[in-house]
Each structure stands twice: as structure tokens, then as C-alpha cells.
Structure 1
Amino acid sequence: MGLWNRYAVPAIVSCACATKPAMRQRAKIVPAAAGEVLELGCGSGTNFAFYDPSRVTRLHAVEPAPGMVTRARAAAAQTAVADRVRFHQTGAENLPMEDASIDTAVITFVLCTIPDWRGALREVRRVLKPGGRVLFSEHGLAPDADVARRQHRFEPVWKRLLGGCHLTRSPADMLAAGGFRVERIETMYLPSTPRIAGFASWGTAVPA
């Protein structure tokens, strides 16, 4: 699994996270990011093209996987915020930012994968300024019992093949458990996406 995670997973995840439905989800929230921005798990830089250069002062892109960082650097160079991106090759559980230094945290299709998601959300809370907010778009546990049963059944294999991605996590519940209040949330099954991986939720949250 070492070679698989090193070489295959970055390519597969980059492709899966850049489908048309997923890109439409990103476009719903990323342009609203402003000020000092933290992106949790930037992956291959799929969000970078959606940032509004008139709103973003600096973009702190956090990503632990070397292969993804390489891809993200190349992606950043092609965007209008190229000169504002600062890469941090580290896990989300140990953010290198100072307390109360971030205006906006962007979390897209990554809570499903972070091993210590409680620690990561605790860190996000620590670095957010008073009045700061989280913009999120995630996939997770479906509300329909038949879909949820299939998610639980396939999750063990899914995690092994896709770098630890979980199908049965609930983003809204995770944010609440991490000390946030969800201000706005919308949900839907993404079109042209397998239902076990396509139940999406997106919106905004603030420290509770």
C-alpha cells in the first residue's frame, strides 16, 4: 500500500475531486473567502482558480502529502493568486499559524480523510480571528437508509483504495463536535456521481 498511496492515490483523488459536480460545489463557496485564508488539505490545488484575488490577502495552503504539494504548486502558478499562496507541508492537526490570525478557513472534500479530524478542527478554531468563519463543502453520510447501509458496507475497501477517505462521516455533526455552529447548510446528491460518495453538504460555520 506504500507505493499505491505514494503514486496512485494522488492521481486518483485529484481526478475524483475535480469532476464537474465537485467543481460546481467548490465554486459555490471558495470565491467568498477573504483576508488571511487557510485552506485545509489543499490537495492538488483544485480550489486555487476559484479564489477572488481582490478579496484574498494571503492563502495558507496546508497539505501533508508531498505528491499533492507538487501538484498544487504547479496549479497555483497558473492562477491569479499565485503570489499570495504559502504552502505548509504538514497535517491539519498541527497548523503553523499563530492564534487568531486567520479570517477564513476553507474546508472542501477533506474532512472525510483527516485521521484526527477533532484535532484539526480544534486547530482551525484556534487560528480563526474573532469574527472569522469556515466555508465548507463536503461529502458524507447519506440520509437515506439504503444508501447509508451501502456506505457502511463499502467504506473499509473505499478507505484503503482512496487514501483513507470515509463515506460515513457527517460534516455538520463533525463541525458541531469541533466547537462550531453551522450558520448555513445546504445538501443534495451530486449529479453523475455514485450515491454512496455523492451526498454533499455545504455552507458556513463559526466558532460556537
Structure 2
Amino acid sequence: MAGLWDRYVVPRLIGFCCTQPPVMKRRAKVVPRAHGRVLELGAGGGANFALYDPHRVTSVEGVDPSPELLTRAHRAAKTEGIPFNIEPGVAEALPFSDASFDTVLTTFTLCSVQDQAQALAEARRVLKPEGRLLFCEHGAAPDPSVAKWQRRIEPVWKRIGGGCHLTRPVSAAIAQAGFRIAEQEQGYMEKSPRWAGWVEWGEARI
């Protein structure tokens, strides 16, 4: 039953939750800043594709482990005027050379990777020295009362939401991976439960 849930229900759940207006509002704050050759982590679904600026981006590579979400991504890529190449893969083992991307983009992805630190290490590896990491991620809330509920809900939420964690740090984890946070904003998304609504977004550099 778990396999059927992960294969058929989780992609639809992710597609629905990750394209709600408050989420898309945050995506729109970071995606248009991408430039040059871009790598998108967790690109399945294609929710970001229409937000790229075709005057700034030359191409977009992407990886995602979900065949169902990849199918959606391929459909979405056909409607945009940017070269897209979205392939099966995981953020912890990127099939790209060192220092090969101008921008790495991660949006609502670090919550569900198997190894957050390894995924960020790989992002750093494939970025050019002058490149930048653009991020928009939900995670551990700073308010003790909210964090308490996140810890309570997370074990069940991970099983329902394809491994999505509620208690992972965002900016702190990026900094710990060797990035310098150049710009950052944060806050609770409107019309979202606070235990799922804390979001941090911005730009980091090597």
C-alpha cells in the first residue's frame, strides 16, 4: 500500500500543495533571478518553469527522482521558450561536472531529500566560483510553540508527504554547507498552518 501511495498519491499531493498561491508568490521572488546555465534541484512538476526570465537564462537542467513528477515537468517544459533538460536523479549525487553552473535553484526540495547536507555539498560542487544558490524552502520555525507542533506532526507528515520534513533548518544548513548567505527573507506564509508555513528564501554564494 505504501508503494502505491508514494507512486500515485504523493505526486498529486506535492503538485497541489507546491503550487498554491502563497507558495507561488515565494517562488516568484527567487526564480526570476536565475541566470546563465541553471540547475534546478527537484524540478519534477515544472512549477518554476514559467517563472524563469528567458532573457537571463540560457538553459535549465533539472533532476527529480519521481517518474510521475518528471512526466509533468516534461509537459511543462514544452510550453516555455527556454531549453530544458529534466532527467531522473537525486540531489545527493548530481551527474554533472564540478563548477559547471551559474545558478543552482532549490525550491521546496531540501525538506524531502534523503541527505540535506550531501545535497547542499553537491550544489556547491557544481556551482562556478562566481555562481549562486537561489533558495526558497520551508522548514524549522523559530517560535518554540510552533516548533513543538512541528516535532509532533513530522513523523506522520513524512509518511504522508513523501518524506517531507518539517523540522529541518534552512539558512543555517546552507551556511553550514560552506555558503555565504548574501540575501535572505523569511516568514510565515499566509493562509497556511504555521507548522507548515515557515519559509526562508534568498541567495547564497560560495
TM-score by length of 1: 0.97
Cα RMSD, aligned residues only: 0.8
2:185 aligned partner: 186
Instruction: Tell me which residue corresponds to 1:131.
Output: 130
Alignment correspondent of 2:116 = 117
Kindly indicate whether residue 39 of structure 2 is the aligned counterpart of residue 38 of structure 1: yes
Q: For 1:1-208, what aligned pairs fall within 5 Å after superposition?
A: 1-81=2-82, 84-207=83-206
Which aligned segments of 4 or more residues in structure 1 are displaced greater than 2 angstroms?
A: none
Deviation at 1:178, TM superposition (A): 1.4
| Conservation of the 8 A alpha-carbon contact between 1:42 and 1:63 | yes
2-structure distance, mates of 1:174, 1:116: 11
Aligned partner of residue 197 in structure 1, secondary structure: helix
Mapped contact 1:121–1:178 kept (Cα < 8 A) = yes
> Is the 1:176–1:182 Cα contact (8 Å) retained in structure 2?
yes
The residue type paired with residue 107 of structure 2 is T
Q: Is the 8 A contact 1:36 1:58 kept in 2?
A: yes
Distance 1:120 1:148 in 2: 24
CA distance in 2: counterparts of 1:122 and 1:205, whole angstroms: 13
User: Does the 8 Å contact 1:142/1:148 carry over to 2?
Assistant: yes
Structure 1, unaligned runs of 5 or more? none
Indicate conservation of the 8 Å contact 1:167/1:197, yes or no. yes
Contact 1:64 1:89 in 2 (8 A): yes
Alignment partners' CA distance in 2, 1:176 and 1:103: 19
* Count of aligned pairs between the two proteins: 205
Q: Does the 8 A contact of 2:147 with 2:167 survive in 1? A: yes
TM-score (normalised: structure 2): 0.97
SS in 2 for 1:60: strand
Instruction: Determine helix, strand or coil for the equivalent of 1:200.
Output: strand
C-alpha displacement of 1:76: 1.2
How far 1:136 sits from its partner (Å)?
0.5
Amino acid at match of 2:71: T
Equivalent residues of 2:43, 2:86 under 8 A apart: no
User: Where does the alignment leave 5 or more consecutive residues of structure 2 unmatched?
Assistant: none
Matched position secondary structure for 2:196: coil
Q: In structure 2, what is the Cα distance between the partners aligned to 1:101 and 1:61? A: 13
Contact 1:14 1:43 in 2 (8 A): no
